[in-house]
Structure 1
Amino acid sequence: MWATGFLGIRIGIIAYCLPFVWVYNPALLMDGTWGEVVLVVTTFLVGAFVLKQSMMITPFAWLPEWLYAFLLALLGLFVMGATVLFGPLGPGALAVALGAAALVMLLERMRKADPFLQPERPAHDPN
């Protein structure tokens, strides 16, 4: 029961943020130059991935789970709004998106390297 609800929250947070990104970034609706469209879609996808990572287990034993989730969710929302802050073709938005993507890839690699952070999978019962 909890796993289904948690998956619903993980999917729902992106669906909740998408209309706000559309309002502030019309390039997400393909209304703009190719450069604007590519940059806005890239920042949105990176922000969505960061928000997904905020729902995972923290790879740091010293950091509380709620603080890890809060910081990554804040980073995800900042990445999604980077094109509004720095402009649709600003290099700042691209730098924020690339930095956040590198950070999340590093966190994911740390999580996969530690076997204790892997989710438990039930044994397959063929009967």
Structure 2
Amino acid sequence: PQPLMERKQLKIQLSKPNEYWDVIRRSRLLFQQVATANAQHQNSLAKLRFDTNRPDPQYEIGDLVLIKVLDKSSKLKEQFEGPYRITEQKGPATFVVKLEDPEEDDNPNFTKQVTTCDMKRVITRDI
């Protein structure tokens, strides 16, 4: 009988003395393929877990949005500023916005380029 903690040795039978190199090469290729497939599968699972509770906001030209204030000097300050109106779309998640009320600003032609993660939609209600 074998002790419980001792591993069984895997024996590989080679028909020719120089065949070991081909066996090692094929085994290495198989290990690489399995490792690559496992990494891709784990990557897709991680993406699924990440995307489950992520919002996917869709903005259009002309929408009113608030822009996140990037100055974190005080936690009591406002987190968003605006409202801004979207004037142009540069990419799938990049927009150019312009201040909605130009009388409030010193420079009425001022535009800002922002991404969707820094924007929040303004919901207007008629009372």
For the superposition of Structure 1 and Structure 2, which TM-score range results when normalised by the shorter chain? under 0.3
TM-score, reference length from structure 1? 0.24
What TM-score do you get using the length of structure 2 for normalisation?
0.24
| Structure with greater strand percent | 2
The structure with more radius of gyration: 2
Structure number with the higher helix fraction is 1
